[in-house]
């Protein structure tokens, strides 16, 4: 297994002690990388510990999560994803690349935005068989390779036909992620390329959200990372670097999605107050 799936982005607060929590991310086989970003597994043993509220700024991706009794396929969450972990448990999941889930179902991914659905409703009875096989494995790290092998076999058996729009959409998403100069949708337009309406239509169909949303979300990911620096950056300069016209708009957007002002978030991260808040008080 190739475990170097890069540094996680969008995790808002520090995780529980590694004695009680484990997060593993594994890249897929090369032939599946046009569609799958990585596999991930989370395991926790919080018996005798307070509940833990995990908060993440969601990505423009579809996830297929396998968990006893609650397996589901989830579209993009426009806000922040929150889940309370307690007792003993674990989740295994497939994270599809932006645009990578659409070819498997052929229906607009926007229909999944802010929703979770039973996998079989989209992928048929074979999805139930995969779920049963994965949930029959051990929940320890030793079983990750077996779960990934089962998932990859399923994905290969349902390998979609080539779709040039998938690569084009993914190139646009990658550009948004990597090019800090992209701060508005018009920055993605090129002479002779698709127009604004076509760009918006393709993102709606393949990603599930607008290109404007993806730009804002990736910039908020960056803002959260920068605000955890010591010392944190000056807010007016950070807002400008992220493409905001003024500091007030940046503060408003950050607070609406994260739940705290940028300054408040930076203080909580610096003083460790985030851990206290997440142990069930605000769940």
**Above 80 in pLDDT, residue 17?**
no
| Average pLDDT for the chain | 90
pLDDT at 279 over 60: no
164-276: in CATH 1.20.120.140:
no
How far separated are the first and last CA of the chain, in Å rounded?
35
* Residue 74 contacts residue 36 (beta carbons within 8 Å): no
Question: Considering only CA atoms, which of 172, 177, 161 is closest in space to residue 194?
Answer: 172
Q: What would the pLDDT profile of 107-155 be if each residue is shown by its tens digit?
A: 999 999 999 999 999 999 999 999 999 999 977 778 999 999 999 999 9
| CB of 257 closer than 8 Å to CB of 251 | no
- pLDDT at position 278: 39
CB count in 10 Å sphere of residue 22? 16
Whole-number pLDDT of residue 200? 97
Lowest mean pLDDT among 90-104, 168-182, 269-283: 269-283
- Mean pLDDT confidence for 153-178: 96
38 — phi, psi (to 5°)?
-170, 170
Least confident of 118-122, 137-141, 179-183, 277-281: 277-281
The model's pLDDT over 64-83, given as tens digits with 9 standing for 90+, comes to 999 988 899 999 999 988 88
What is the C-alpha R_g of the chain?
19
Q: How far apart are CA 180 and CA 71, in angstroms?
A: 36
Question: Which tokens go with 15?
Answer: 């995780």
Model confidence pLDDT, tens digit, residues 245-270:
899 999 999 999 999 999 999 998 87
User: What's the confidence (pLDDT) of residue 1?
Assistant: 45
The DSSP code for 185 is G
pLDDT attached to residue 207: 98
Is it the case that residue 169 has pLDDT exceeding 80?
yes
Assess whether pLDDT exceeds 50 at residue 283. no
- Each domain of the chain, given as residue ranges in start order, spans 21-157, 164-276
Please state whether the predicted TM-score (pTM) of the whole model is above 0.85.
Answer: yes
Q: Give the percent of the chain with pLDDT over 70.
A: 93
Decide if pLDDT at 89 tops 80.
yes
């Amino acid at each position: 297994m190739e475990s170097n799936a890069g540094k996680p982005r969008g995790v808002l607060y520090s995780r529980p002690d590694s004695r009680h929590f484990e997060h593993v991310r594994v890249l897929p086989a090369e032939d599946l990388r046009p569609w799958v970003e990585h596999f991930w597994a989370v395991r926790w043993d919080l018996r005798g510990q307070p509940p833990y509220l995990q908060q993440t700024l969601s990505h423009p991706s579809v996830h297929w999560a396998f968990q006893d009794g609650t397996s589901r396929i989830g579209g993009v969450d426009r806000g922040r994803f929150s889940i309370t972990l307690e007792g003993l448990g674990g989740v295994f999941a497939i994270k599809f690349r932006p645009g990578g889930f659409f070819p498997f179902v052929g229906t607009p991914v926007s229909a999944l935005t802010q929703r979770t659905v039973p996998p079989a409703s989209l992928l048929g009875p074979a999805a139930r068989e995969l779920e049963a096989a994965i949930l029959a494995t051990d929940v320890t790290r030793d079983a990750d390779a077996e779960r990934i092998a089962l998932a990859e076999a399923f994905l290969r058996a349902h390998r979609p036909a080539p779709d040039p729009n998938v690569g084009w959409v993914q190139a646009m998403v990658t550009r948004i992620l990597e090019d800090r100069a992209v701060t508005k949708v018009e920055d993605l337009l090129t002479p002779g390329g698709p127009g604004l309406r076509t760009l918006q239509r393709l993102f709606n169909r393949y990603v599930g959200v607008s290109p404007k949303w993806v730009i804002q979300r990736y910039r908020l990911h960056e803002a959260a990372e920068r605000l955890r620096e010591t010392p944190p950056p000056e807010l007016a300069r950070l807002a400008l670097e992220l493409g905001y016209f003024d500091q007030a708009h940046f503060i408003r957007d950050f607070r609406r999605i994260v739940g705290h002002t940028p300054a408040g978030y930076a203080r909580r991260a610096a003083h460790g107050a985030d851990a206290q808040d997440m142990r069930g008080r605000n769940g």
